[in-house]
Amino acid sequence: MTSGSDQSAGQPPRERLTVSLSSDLVRGLKSAAAESDARSVSAYVEYLLRKEEWLRRWKLAVGEPDPDALAQARQALLADQPQPPAS
């Protein structure tokens, strides 16, 4: 890892990290970043990592969601979504 030189005022120092991923994951990541409001793939990955950290801390503070409430929320959120055909 090397230190980045494009540090913005008030931003923590940046480091470059190179990873190798399968082509399909790279395509999916680039597509998801483009569909989001992220300014780059790096910004999108950082957002996802920070979101996961927030969720981890939240679960430590309040515990896992009630399974029944989670099922109801999923049903409500997915009510208008096309459902996959039954196997």
Q: Cα separation of 77 and 65, whole Å?
A: 16
Q: pTM to 2 decimals?
A: 0.63
Query: Mean pLDDT in the chain?
Result: 87
**Does the structure show a pLDDT above 60 at 32?**
yes
User: What are the boundaries of each domain within the chain?
Assistant: 20-73
Strand partners, 68: none
Only one residue has tokens 């990873």, namely: 19
Contact residues for 40 (Cβ-Cβ < 8 A; gap 6+): 33
Residue 28 one-letter amino acid: G
Q: Give me the percent of the chain exceeding a pLDDT of 70.
A: 85
pLDDT in tens, 1-27: 444 445 567 878 999 999 999 999 999
